[in-house]
A and B are shown apart, each in its own frame.
Chain A
Amino acid sequence: MFAYRKPLLMTAAAFAMLSQVAAAEEQFFPIVSYRVGPYGANGQSFYGGFVDYLNYVNLKDGGINGVKLAWEECETEYNNAKGVECYERLKAKAKVSTGPLHVMSTGISYALIDKTAEDKLPLAMMGYGRTDAVDGSVFPYAFPLVTTYQMQASAIIKFIKDKEKGNLDGKKIVFLYHDSAYGKEPIVALQEEAKLNKFALTLIPVAHPGNEQSAQWLQIRQENPDYVVFWGWGVMNQTAIKAAQKVGFARDKMIGSWWAGSEEDTVPAGDAAKGYMAATWNVAGSDVPLIADIKKVVYGAGKGNLQDQAKLGTILYNRGVSAAVLSVEALRGAQEKYGKGKPVNGEQVRWAMENLNITDARLKEIGATDLLPPIKTSCADHEGSGMVKIQQWDGAKWVPVSGWIEGNKGLIHPLFKASAQQYAKEKGITPKDCAKES
């Protein structure tokens, strides 16, 4: 009865070893995503772009220096508890080798920020999440890459100031925001900008989910502001655009955040969205060389992640590609330092993310010129850029109406530093000395 036991065990052990070897030659990406639920449409585009780029690197270059990219996706439905569950499920594999974790949810980011630091796995929060993590001396494993809500708000004010010929003195700006951590983050920055530029700032919150805003827009009509800076998410965005139309507020005086500036936000609002503007840290368009090449290489091979190819080149698809570009560049950097042709672990990727230097020349090599801004990170600056473009909806597509605009770093970054130091004090964290980092 037991005659076959030994050979069977040996075979099983051999298979286990082989599979480990195979796994060791791959670079694993834990993908904590959402493609169904209230924000599923946004997740489909973002994670579609993300996975397409990973596939593209495998198909076009055979991986990174021969190391193929592998990934496993876990569905959160944009639910914090499920986000943590997914993370715990993928953690064991990620401890062997990992790409940065992108959860595209401020709530899930907050839930994971301490856990990822404990597990030494880098958490990327590109355009969301805990913004004072810009200070890497307190948050070594968290990266609010590219730009933050505060820097975005500051850049929007700069854009408005340029439109007003450099003078905002006496102007009225309403900040209409989702009444949540996401919506409240830029308030301090805007208040600082208001003091500096002498404009009157009115704060108007909108309760979640934001599908009813008539009171707020009547208040805006009463205030008669020069501009409305708008921090919405999901259904709140279309509702605001339609409500602006209802009270006769000009859409080209309304500037949204990057979570209020995708096709998913404007298309459902129909004609009311024409002229509406929003910030973005990545541009739309399938004519970006990289996006066109992804279509050719990945979809040509029948390995595209999106069922609906019309999403290729949309804001959120291109944002997913941009997130993957930065992740792959970080892995390249880690391999350069720790050994080419080998998978890298969380600590090594963390180092690389803290030493990213993606120049215009490098973006051109990738085919991503102007898709996203150049980025240079450091221990003291996990953001690395702070730049956005302003884009305008022409009724059918987003069109950039500015170059890259950098927020007022001198004004905003000290706010991050103060907040991070306060966090360190509360948590008993000793900030590391960034001067000693290399």
Chain B
Amino acid sequence: MRFFLEVLISGLLSGVMYSLVALGFVLIYKASGVFNFAQGAMVYLAALAVVGCMEKGAPLWLAVLLAFGIMTLFGIATEKFVLRKLVNQPPIALFMATIGLAFFIEGLAPMVFGSDPRALDIGIVDEPIEAILNGWGMVISKFDLAAAAIAAVLVTTLALFFQYTRIGRALRAVADDHQAALSIGIPLQHIWAIVWGVAGFVALVAGMLWGARNGVQFALTFTALKALPVLIIGGFTSVPGAIVGGLIIGASEKLAEIYLPALMQSAFGGNFGGIEGWFPYVLALGFLLVRPEGLFGEKHIDRV
């Protein structure tokens, strides 16, 4: 039982890390109705910007500020040079544009900041909490707990922002219909620039946490891989959904990784494992069959 609990908690905490990346997707989706293929690349760019600035001698706080500035500028530039030309175009056109953007960032970021994998020390050690280890014999990482706290603050802030601010409401209107939003005077360009800036900030937080955990390197772009099942389960338009989806994916994939191989081995023979690579997608597929809009997503009804 202790081991089961340990795996479950570790999975939930890993899920929070997935949620952080998924949040960026939700923001863009809410504002433009498009799945931002470049979100993983933005995580990479943000983390590289931090270590790049630190290598030039900036202390961590300044590097984070500068990286935030870079991500904001990037958001504004994306709106001006990519999205503005695509207003009122089908979502697939915007999606294709984000694919191009991903390749652009993946090429540009290492060119500017270097491609060597680097360590990022944000002052939180990834070690077990002694009291829990000694008292219950369970490994709960200080780093994972800190990441969960950061995610909780971020989600609460974003949820409040979308629910209760004028920009948040405008943003939801833009997501529903670009043209209708423009016709009632909502400044679409500003909204998009703001939302890409906020998505850049979320990418910065995710990039710093993932970078501190595994090193800052190209593989940060892969963090987006787990965001897709998180979004399918939580819903593409829901900030709390990204968190709940992340928790479900994190916990279920870890439990599956530990307990499924033995079952599969007794049923089919051979050596099984590496299940967490595909399990989240199978789970997401199941959700798509029974609840395509996800747990917290808006039900989309087309009238014909």
**A214 x B117 contact (CB < 8 A):** no
Known contacts A36-B110, A246-B128; decide if A41 and B116 are in contact (CB<8 Å): yes
Measured CB to CB, the nearest residue on chain A to B211 is A268
Scan residues 1-27 of chain B and give those whose CB is less than 8 A from a CB of chain A: 3, 6-7, 10-11, 13-14, 17
Across-interface contacts of A211 in B (CB, < 8 A): 210, 214, 219, 222-223
Contact B115 A44, beta carbon cutoff 8 Å: yes
Interface size on B, residues (CB 8 A): 48
Distance in Å from the Cβ of B30 to the closest Cβ of chain A?
A: 27
Which residue from chain A places its CB closest to the CB of B6 in the assembled complex?
Answer: A218
Contact (A40, B254) CB under 8 Å given A179-B277, A212-B14: no
A222 touches B3 (CB 8 A): yes
Give min CB distance, B104 to chain A, whole Å. Answer: 13
Q: Is B59 interfacial (CB 8 A cutoff)?
A: no
Quick one: which of B173-231 are within 8 Å of A by CB?
210, 213-219, 221-223, 225-226
Tell me the total A-B contact number using a CB cutoff of 8 A.
124
Q: Which residues of A contact B253 (CB under 8 A)?
A: 215
A337 at the interface (CB under 8 A from B): no
Query: What count of chain A residues pass the 8 Å CB interface test?
Result: 41
Residues of A within 8 A of B257 (CB): 215-216
- For A42, the closest partner residue in chain B by CB is B117
Shortest CB distance A82–B (Å): 14
Chain B residues with CB under 8 A of A203: 271, 273
Measured in the bound complex, the distance between the Cα atoms of B143 and A239 in whole Å is: 14
Contact of A36 with B214 at beta-carbon distance under 8 Å, contacts A214-B14, A247-B128, A267-B118 already known: no
- A242 vs B127: C-alpha distance when bound (angstroms): 9
Closest to A216 in B: B257
Q: Which of A363-413 contact B (CB under 8 A)?
A: none
Q: Does A219 contact B (CB under 8 A)?
A: yes
B107 is an interface residue with CB less than 8 A from chain A: yes
Cβ-neighbour of A179 out of B143, B221, B225, B273 (below 8 A):
B273
Residues of B within 8 A of A36 (CB): 107, 110, 115
A242 touches B213 (CB 8 A): yes
Answer whether A235 and B119 are a contact pair too, CB < 8 Å, given A207-B275, A222-B3, A268-B214. Answer: no
Instruction: With a 10 A CB-CB cut-off, give which of B121, B215, B226, B276 has the most chain A CB atoms.
Output: B215
B109-136 residues at the A interface, CB under 8 angstroms? 110, 114-119, 121, 126-128, 133
A330 to B278, CA, bound (A): 45
B285 within 8 A of A: no
Minimum Cβ distance to chain A for residue B116 (Å):
5
Chain B nearest CB from A267 CB (Å) reads 6
The CA-CA distance from A310 to B11 in the complex, in Å, is 39
Q: Does B78 lie at the interface of the complex (its beta carbon under 8 Å from any beta carbon of A)?
A: no
Given contacts A203-B273, A218-B3, contact A235 B217 (CB under 8 A): yes
Given contacts A179-B277, A242-B126, A268-B217, contact A215 B119 (CB under 8 A): no
Answer yes or no: B54 CB below 8 A from chain A CBs.
no
* Least CB separation from B222: chain A residue: A209
Q: CA separation between A209 and B254, bound complex, in Å?
A: 16
Most buried by B among A44, A214, A245, A269: A214
Q: Which B residue's beta carbon lies closest to that of A272?
A: B126
Alpha-carbon separation in the docked complex, A268 to B219 (Å): 12
Q: With an 8 A cutoff between CB atoms, is B139 at the interface? A: yes
Known contacts A211-B223, A234-B219, A238-B215, A268 near B118 by CB under 8 Å: yes
Given contacts A207-B276, A215-B254, contact A269 B115 (CB under 8 A): no
Does B278 contact A207, Cβ atoms closer than 8 Å?
yes
Is A205 touching B273 in the complex (CB atoms < 8 A)? yes
B107 nearest CB neighbor, chain A only: A36
Q: For the complex, is B274 an interface residue (Cβ under 8 Å from A)?
A: yes
A166 at the interface (CB under 8 A from B): no
Which residue from A37, A219, A264 sits with its C-beta under 8 Å from B117?
A: A264
- Inter-chain contacts of A270 with B (CB < 8 A): 119, 121
Q: Nearest residue in A to B139 (C-beta to C-beta)?
A: A247
Query: Is A248 in contact with chain B by the CB < 8 A criterion?
Result: yes
Q: Mark A235-277, 1 if CB is under 8 A from B, else 0.
A: 1001100100111100000000000000011011110100000
In the complex, are the beta carbons of A38 and B219 less than 8 A apart?
yes
Known: A267-B117, A270-B119. A235 touches B271 (CB 8 A): no
* B225 cross-chain contacts in A, Cβ below 8 A: 209
**Is there an interface contact between A41 and B126, defined as CB atoms closer than 8 Å?**
no
Among B17, B114, B116, B214, the residue within 8 A (CB) of A242 is B214
Q: Which of B7, B13, B217 has the most CB of A within 10 A?
A: B217
List A contacts of B3 (CB < 8 A).
Answer: 218, 222
B266 vs chain A, min Cβ distance (A): 16
- Closest approach, in angstroms, between the C-beta of B6 and any C-beta of chain A? 6
Could you say which of A218, A242, A267 contacts B10, with CB atoms under 8 Å apart? Answer: A218
* A209→B257 CA distance, assembly (Å): 15
When A207-B277, A235-B222, A242-B213 are in contact, do A268 and B7 touch as well, CB less than 8 Å? no
Name which residue of chain B comes closest to A214, CB basis. Answer: B10
- Apart from A215-B257, A218-B139, what are 6 other A-B pairs with CB-CB below 8 Å? A41-B117, A203-B273, A208-B277, A235-B214, A246-B143, A247-B128
Instruction: Give the 6 A-B residue pairs with the shortest CB-CB distance, closest first.
Output: A268-B215, A207-B277, A235-B219, A179-B274, A205-B273, A207-B274
Residues in chain B within 8 A of chain A (CB atoms): 3, 6-7, 10-11, 13-14, 17, 107, 110, 114-119, 121, 126-128, 133, 139, 141, 143, 210, 213-219, 221-223, 225-226, 253-254, 257-258, 271, 273-278
What are 16 residue pairs bridging A and B, where the CB atoms are less than 8 Å apart in the complex?
Answer: A37-B218, A206-B273, A209-B222, A211-B219, A212-B17, A214-B10, A218-B3, A219-B258, A235-B117, A235-B222, A242-B126, A246-B126, A246-B143, A267-B119, A268-B217, A270-B119
